[in-house]
Amino acid sequence: MNGKLKKGIWSIIFCMTLSASLFAQDHRERYEQIEAIKVAFITKKLDLTTDEAQKFWPVYNNYQKELMELMKKRREDRQKADIAPNDKINADLAYESKMLDLKKKYKKLYSRAIPAEKILLLYQAEREFREHLIKQLNHRRKSSN
């Protein structure tokens, strides 16, 4: 099978799986299902060896945990109504700086588990997954209206 056909088949399977799994589930179950699909997607894209997977996934899971904490703090900070606009701008810049620091930290940690080529593939896979997810969610919204 050629690469485009494989990619097309993977996209169809991804969309069907995501659509079916998101239907009639509560928020937590949906989140867990999306994360499971994301792990499968990244695993396939990176084509990790057993040794690489054993080293990579604990690091990636820690990254996800730190990322979620950082994003949660940002959401909480943005919901505060009594903050001056200039302070909000400074908070956003601080968030972006922390996000960059986190990415740099984990790039170093990833390099202990997988080669640079696979780190690049990881970033591409995460971006591709987000794009697929956004398209799927937008499609669902349009279909339900």
- What H or E segment, with its residue span, contains residue 134? helix 116-144
**3-class DSSP state for residue 48?**
coil
On the question of pLDDT at 34 being above 70, the answer is: yes
Where is 42: in which H helix or E strand?
Answer: helix 27-46
Amino acid in position 64: Q
42, 122 in Cβ contact below 8 A?
yes
Whether residue 3 has pLDDT greater than 90:
no
* Encoded amino acid at 87, one letter: D
Instruction: Tell me the pTM.
Output: 0.76
- Asked if 52 and 114 count as a contact pair (C-beta separation under 8 A), the reply is yes
Mean pLDDT of 45-74: 96
Cα-based torsion angle of the residue sequence 30, 74, 113, 126 in order, rounded to the nearest 10 degrees: 50
Residue 114 pLDDT: 98
Residue 41 gets the label, from left (phi > 0), alpha (psi -120 to 50) or beta, of: alpha
Does pLDDT of 1 surpass 70? no
At 41, is the pLDDT very low, low, confident or very high (cuts 50, 70, 90)? Answer: very high
